[in-house]
Amino acid sequence: MEDGAVERPPRPWIPLLVALCLLFGLGSLIFWQWSTLQKRELEDSQHRFQLEAQDIGQRVVARMQAYEMVLRGVSGLMTGSDRVSPVEWERALDQLQLQDRYPGIQAVAWSRFLLPEQLAEFRAELQAEGRLDYQMFPAEQRDHYLPIDYVSPLDWRNRRVLGFDMLSEAIRREAIEHSIDSGEASLSGPVVLRQEIDVNVQQGVLLFLPVFRPGLPLNSAEQRRAALLGVVHGAFRSHDLMEGILGSQTRRFDIVLKDLQAQDIQLLSGETQANGWKPRFRNHLELPLYGRVWSLDVIGTVEYERSLVDRTGTLGLWAGLAAALLLAMLVGGYLYQRERKLHISEKAAVELQEREERFRMLVERLPVATLLCDAKGRIEMANRSAAELFDCTLNGLIGETVLRVLPNIESPQDLLEQLSESDERMVRTLRGESIPVSISLNPLHEGSSYLINLVDLRARKVAEERFRLVVEASPNAIVLVDGLGRIAMVNRQTELLFGYERQMLLGEPVEMLLPAALRGSHVAMRRGYQAMPEQRRMGGNRELFGQHREGKMIPLEVGLSPIRSGDENLVQAVIIDISERKAAEQKLREQAEQLLLANRYKSEFLANMSHELRTPLNSILILSDQLRQNLAGNLTEKQTKHADIVHRAGSDLLQLINDVLDLAKVESGRMQLKLEPINVQDVLVELDASLRPMAEIKGLRLHTQIEAGVPRVIHTDRVRLHQILRNLLSNALKFTDQGEVTLSVSSQGRQEDERELLCFAVRDSGIGIDPAQHEQVFHAFQQIDGSTSRRFGGTGLGLAITRQLVLALDGDIHLQSAPGQGSTFTVRLPVQTAAITIEAPVEGPQRAGDGPPLLIVEDDANFASVIAEEAHAHGFSSVHCRTGLQALGVLQQESFNAVILDILLPDLSGWQLFRRLRAQPNHRYTPVHIISCVPQPAGWNDDGTRYLVKPIGRDELEQVFLELQHGAVQEQALLLVEDVEVEREHYREQLTSLGFQVTACANGDQARLAYMQGQFSALVVDLDLPDQDGFALLDSLNQLRTLQGTRVVINTGVDVNQQTLQRLRRYSAVVVRKHGDDTEALGQAVQGFLVDVRAPEPTHARVNPLQGRRILLVDDDVRNVYALTALLDEVGLRVSTAKDGLEAIASYQRDPFDLILMDMAMPNMDGYTATRLLKQEHGCVIPIIALTAHAMKGDREKCITAGADDYMAKPIKRDELLELLERWLSMPPVPPLSNDLT
């Protein structure tokens, strides 16, 4: 592809970046403009506020000047008359209308200047005027008096000041003296007016104006004091004063007013600061007023600032930002659409170039020769196939005329006329060679150019010739029939088979090859087949015959196949002469009859041999088992040993018989496989459980492993696979003295038939096998040499049977071994894999119930719920774990009264969990009940563990919990006496981990007190105590309560001599020497005597369900009768005997019995007939157990069909027989069926 055609990757981030930059730039510009406007507006507001504050200051000055004018008017009133009466005062002041015209003034008052000698005259005037309630105050003697004579308005607040001497208070006196000396109005400092009460107290000021007697000189202060008549003053409350001046503007401004000569007192404090408001506008003024300087702070309130808010600016900001955002989005959208269209255009251009390139490469690589010619027939383009077809280079072909390679074509017009349809013809190469081709021509661009395709037919022509030769060389007759039923082609074998020459058959009806009787009906069948043609094989289920020219019949098989040749439908018939096969089949049938007869004789021989061998072997095993048990105790040890040897030899002989029968079944092909889904892990766990005891006895390591990739579930015969692996593992353990035996399972992938190929490899480190003898070990009754047989035992049948079983499972077995290097047996089995199901996540431990804890380790949720219900019914709580790893985690953190364990777990073996449980000190003696489908390993035993095999009934499960309930052990109490605190806490922790409830004491007094208050199963005492020695402590404890039955452990760090041991012997004490942090010896000493030792319970004789029951033993062999009678008599059964079926029926009719043991092979009347007659004709309802020495397939089903209730093969094992009898005799009797119909 050209460089210009490279598709440029899309860049959607460019429009986004441009839009963001534009938005940021426009937003910044708009925000800057808005900030500038806001700043300018703030400056204007500050200037406007400054003007308003100055206006307020001017208004304050003007209002105070107005108040001065009021006072001067009042002073004129007082100097215009010798004595102003109260009426004249009221009239004159009412005309002034102070509260309406001059709001903010509290009162206007007149105070007369009096000397002490003028007081009497002043009081006389007051009485004359009838002002009897007028009193001067304060009453102290002074040089001068200036009592308030008149006040206006005369309300309740102003009445409080009548008679008050203005010169009695310093601030007022100072202002009055200043006004007298200056002759002008004077303002006092901040005072609390006499009009104030306790509520809403305000600071106030007084404006004094002196009034002088007319006509006297006033040029100096002394003259003015001498001419003083009195003083007129105005009283102002600061807050009311400012309200009177500002009026409604008080809400817009907050005023702070101070007198600079008295800065510690505020005339008026603003409310803004008290409310926490931080104003933006504030202006400070200093106002000189009547001898005082006021500090006036004007502050803008919230309402003032709210009135200044210009919302149009903020709205403009948001509008500008929105416009900038919209513009950025428009520009970004435009750029995005432009970028998108540009990318689509570039992509389309790239795709177009790719399509053109692909078309060019397609044409170039077409297996069909392709030529593009102009209207004159000149070749403009050709592909590689065309160059190869015409045997020239591609450049040499381009520019040539197409008429050169097409003979019989003289002009382009002939080219269009002759090649308008596909046709086969010969073409010439540029070198003149003729080639058969199939040619087609397609005009392009309304005839301005042509596309010619040429297919090389040389290979097809060769194939057709080769096909003709194959048909002729075919060993079978081949006949080709057309749609009319006429013979279109035959080969040489047809001529030989039917005796006709080829020319005599071609064009004739095909029916001439059939028998004359079938020719008429065959026409209709032929037409039906031609209507619905399909491949069909004839003669497989019925005989077909053809007719020779000479008239003889020929047995045939015919295969029909429809063939389409152009527009014609043909039928090919392949005719096989089966005359020789028919003769061979007849011969095989005769041989098969002879083999069936031989196999019947062999089966009868094996059955008879099995019966004749098992019958005496049955007596040997029963009697030798009784002798080796020596229940009567009358045999010597040597005699019981000899009896044991006899019993083991009989068991080996029985195993040999079973191996021979198995080998016979496999070799005769009568062994049937039962394919079922099995879990590979379960099989390995079962093998491990059954063979591990054998390995541990020899000190060998038995290891099983499943490699990655092995399917979990496979379809095969479980019993046979188990038998194969068990045989191999048993041999490996037998021939290995030291080292290990390993079973590994791996997968070698899928085969062509979609089956998985599994590889089972058994490796050992045993004696090894010489490569020259590898094949010999797989032969029956063959071993490496006689010394091997004498040393290891065996018959040499195990590997022979194993190979036969492997072959039966469609597998193979191989051996790799050398002397002294161990052996590896590899079994490869093709198996079907089961569908993998997705398992739900494993839930955590499930807890339920109240009471002593019980751990249930079981992956079957249904069975676990049954166990849990039974546990709750017996007062236990339950913890259910579905995997071994879950159980290990719970066991490390908790203690349990008992554990119920399954061996087959999904993640690890139950035996591994059991061993790790027993390795933990706090679970070493915990009762364990194993309930599993895996049989209990032979010779395995563990104290405190019970083994049950599934399935188990409710009664057995009930018995388990009755034992647990009866044997539940409370936590053992232990008294620890140790004076060293560090050691005491260490011992307490260790003993608690072992499951003891520890009470720790530091001295003898504490120990005695604890011993009096509680019961203890054990004492752990240090001999060296601070208040007394350990001997004295034990004596005192024994006096409080006997120590008999209590385990005493002396844990000391001092040496104990013989005399000390003698003293401790009376308490059965155990001495443990301290070893620092090592407490293992102490734990063993305590645990060894505190393991749930229960007092022996009164024993009751166990009821024997077999005692006194009557058994009818039917057997013709006196040896079996003797052995079985001895065994049954030993367990308390009453035995009667019969030697055949007739005697058995007679005995049943004569005497009552509880059960019948019936041998199946007897003279006169066998057991099958006797059982059938007893059940069907004599109404027998008691159990009949079939005993047979036959061990062939179908014997059990045959016995059950005859009417037997159960089956047991000889030789009979004592325990199995007694268990069977106990089960059947413990069942309630079944009432006989009535034959009466009512």
Residue 790, pLDDT > 80, answer: no
**1228: DSSP letter:** P
How many angstroms separate the Cα of 235 from the Cα of each of 112, 209, 264, 763? 16, 12, 21, 126
Distance, CA of 734 to CA of 743 (rounded, Å): 15
| Residue 600 CA, distance from chain mean position | 61
Structure token pair of residue 842: 């494993």
3-state secondary structure of 1193: coil
Cα–Cα distance list, 539 to 525, 542, 559, 807, 1219 (Å)? 15, 5, 9, 34, 61
What count of other Cβ atoms lies within 10 Å of the Cβ of residue 620? 19
State yes or no: pLDDT of 84 exceeds 60.
yes
CA distance 111 to 102: 21
At 1036-1082, the pLDDT tens digits run 888 888 887 677 888 887 766 666 666 666 666 777 777 666 666 67
List all residues 6 or more positions away from 311 whose beta carbon is below 8 Å from its beta carbon: none
- Predicted confidence (pLDDT) at residue 886 exceeds the cutoff of 80: yes
Q: Which domains, and CATH codes, for the chain?
A: 1-66+311-365 (no CATH), 81-251 (3.30.450.350), 366-456 (3.30.450.20), 461-577 (3.30.450.20), 673-833 (3.30.565.10), 846-966 (3.40.50.2300), 972-1087 (3.40.50.2300), 1110-1225 (3.40.50.2300)
Please identify which residue in the block is written with the tokens 């310093």: 170
For the beta carbon of residue 796, count every other beta carbon within 10 angstroms. 18
Dihedral Cα 477, 482, 487, 490, nearest 10 deg = -30
Mean pLDDT of the chain: 81
Helical spans, DSSP H, in 292-423: 302-308, 311-365, 384-389, 394-397, 412-418
- For residue 1064, give Cα distances in angstroms to 1012, 1032, 1044, 1059, 1127: 22, 11, 13, 9, 55
- Mean pLDDT to the nearest integer, 742-753: 87
Could you tell me the pTM of the whole model?
0.34
How far apart are the C-alpha atoms of 979 and 1003, rounded to whole Å?
Answer: 6
Does residue 854 surpass a pLDDT of 70? Answer: yes
Q: Is the dihedral of CA 408, 412, 414, 418 positive or negative?
A: positive
Report strand pairing: 701-706 vs 675-679: unpaired
Where do the H-state alpha helices sit in 419-483? Answer: 458-473
pLDDT at 206: 95
E-state strands within 807-872: 812-817, 823-833, 846-848, 853-857
Residue type, 203: Q
* CA pair distance 813, 729, nearest whole angstrom: 14
**CB-CB neighbours of 271 under 10 Å:** 13
pLDDT value for 466: 82
> In the chain, what percentage of residues exceed pLDDT 90?
15
Whether the pLDDT of residue 314 is over 80: the answer is: no
Q: How many residues does the chain have?
A: 1238
Predicted pLDDT of residue 1098: 35
Q: Is the pLDDT of residue 411 over 80?
A: no
Residue type, 494: T
pLDDT digits (tens, 9 = 90+) for 366-389: 778 888 888 777 888 888 888 888
Listing DSSP states for 1071-1125 in one string gives EEE-BTTB-HHHHHHHHTT-S--PPPPPP-PPP-TTTT-EEEEE-S-HHHHHHHH
How far CA 1169 is from CA of 1143, 1161, 1166, 1188, in Å, comes to: 13, 10, 6, 14
Q: How many CA atoms lie within 13 A of 1137 on its CB side?
A: 15
Sign of CA dihedral 119, 121, 122, 127: positive
> Greater confidence, 466 or 423?
466
Distance CA 665, CA 672 (A): 9
735 — pLDDT class (breaks 50, 70, 90): confident
- Spatial neighbors of 178 by CB under 8 A, at least 6 apart, are 186, 291
For residue 421, pLDDT over 80 is answered with no
Most confident of 184-188, 602-606, 939-943: 184-188
Tens-digit pLDDT profile for residues 652-689: 677 667 767 666 666 655 566 778 888 888 888 878 87
Hey, which residues does 967 pair with through a beta bridge?
none
| The pLDDT value given to residue 1059 | 64
For CA atoms 479, 484, 485, 487, the dihedral sign is negative
- pLDDT band of 1233, cuts 50, 70, 90: very low
pLDDT of res. 1091: 40
Q: Answer yes or no: is pLDDT of 850 > 80.
A: yes
The most distant pair of C-alpha atoms in the chain lies apart, rounded to whole Å, by 195
Does residue 788 surpass a pLDDT of 80? no
Phi, psi of 500 (to 5 degrees): -100, 150
pLDDT one-digit tens code per residue, 960-980:
887 777 654 455 788 999 988
Q: Report whether pLDDT(879) > 90.
A: yes
The CA R_g of the chain, rounded to the nearest whole Å, is 65
Across-strand partners of 999?
975
Name residue 703's beta-bridge partners: 742
Element (H, E) at 839: none
Interhelix angle 798-808/637-668, nearest 10 degrees: 30
Residue 781 — pLDDT band, cuts 50, 70, 90?
low
The pLDDT of residue 1095 is above 60: no
Mean pLDDT of 699-722: 86
Q: What is the pLDDT of residue 907?
A: 75
CB 481 within 8 A of CB 488: yes
The pLDDT of 683-707, averaged and rounded, is 82
Q: What is the mean pLDDT of residues 1091-1117?
A: 63
User: Which of 681, 970, 990, 693 lies closest to 852 in space, CA to CA?
Assistant: 970
Summarize pLDDT for 510-569 with one digit per residue, the tens. 888 889 888 888 888 888 888 888 888 887 667 888 888 888 888 888 888 888 876 788
Give the confidence band of 163 by pLDDT, cuts at 50, 70, 90: very high
d(CA 358, CA 88): 128
